[in-house]
Amino acid sequence: MSQTQEIHLVAHRGNARDYPENTLPAFASALSIGLRCLELDVHLSCDGVPVVIHDHTLRRTAGVAGTVFDLTAKQLAHIDAHEPERFGERFRGTRIPLLADVLALLEGRSDVLLFVEIKRASLARFGHEQVISRLLPLLREAQAQCVVISFDLAAVLRARQMGAVAIGWVLDRYDARSRLKYEASQPEFLFCDLQKLPTEGNLWHGPWQWAIYEIESIAVALALAARGVRYIETMAAQAMSTALRTAQSGG
């Protein structure tokens, strides 16, 4: 099997190059392009409902003051997440989705894998137990195709204890100390920023899959595949999907 056939593209916050990140249009677009792996970010609203947004502050994605923690899920559902600094008014009316809204896209789609990242700010605000106890029941119906991930190792380990089928740790650094931690914890996935990796050599081997993010070049993706990486996370879903199909066809 060729390296290109083994590559799985992960839509980082959906097709976030062409649509506002972490929104239903971004996820729907990634699926329509043909990607079968999605990644999203989760915070809790003030009433403890998981909502899909990267920053806990609303300024960058919604163009308004305040934080996710200030508002109920019902109030957040009326706030646009149209990224006005990036798209102007083009996507006005695109709302902040609930996690439940995104999970609905998986119905009848057992071929889709969803990476759900728990954000540190919510863990600090509400505590690990509350965040995970609010998250996991929503994932239960699709738990076989959901992977709970976080920079916070304690959070993903607690998620596993509470019933998560698969977990992934997002590394702050690629070093010996981190290696000891993940060899002990045995996550199914390890995520790492490309810039934090050594420039050459195979990555540490174990019973996990590597997922490397911030990739927008098929040449870089192929080089990573040669080093043992099978999951390539990108915001440029359309361009990377087209380039991968070309590489697979030998074009």
SS3 string, 93-156, reads CCECCEHHHHHHHHCCCCCCEEEEEECHHHHHHHCHHHHHHHHHHHHHHHHHHEEEEECCHHHH
Query: What pLDDT, on the 0 to 100 scale, is given for residue 112?
Result: 98
| Burial class of 158 by CB neighbour count within 10 A (0 to 12, 13 to 18, 19+) | buried
Phi, psi of 216, rounded to the nearest 5 degrees: -135, 15
Token pair 């008014």: residue: 89
CATH of domain 3-56+99-249: 3.20.20.190
Residue 251 has pLDDT above 90, yes or no: no
CB 236 within 8 A of CB 17: yes
Using pLDDT thresholds of 50, 70 and 90, give the confidence band for residue 250: confident
**How far apart are the C-alpha atoms of 36 and 32, rounded to whole Å?**
9
Two structure tokens written together for 90: 């083009």
State the catalytic residue, choosing from 43, 54, 56, 128. 54
Could you confirm whether 78 is annotated as catalytic? no
CB 234 within 8 A of CB 216: yes
Residue 1 has pLDDT above 60, yes or no: no
| Burial class of 57 by CB neighbour count within 10 A (0 to 12, 13 to 18, 19+) | middle
| Domain boundaries of the chain, sorted by first residue | 3-56+99-249
Non-local CB neighbours of 223 within 8 Å, separated by 6+ positions: none
Query: What pLDDT, on the 0 to 100 scale, is given for residue 244?
Result: 95
Mean pLDDT of 221-242: 96
H-assigned helices in the chain = 3-6, 24-33, 59-62, 73-76, 84-87, 99-103, 120-126, 128-139, 153-161, 176-185, 218-226, 237-249
Mean pLDDT of 178-189: 94
User: Which region among 34-38, 178-182, 239-243 has the lowest average model confidence (pLDDT)?
Assistant: 178-182
pLDDT tens digits, one per residue of 59-107: 999 999 999 999 999 999 999 999 999 999 999 999 999 999 999 999 9
pLDDT tens digits, one per residue of 127-173: 999 999 999 999 999 999 999 999 999 999 999 999 999 999 999 99
Non-local CB neighbours of 60 within 8 Å, separated by 6+ positions: 83, 85
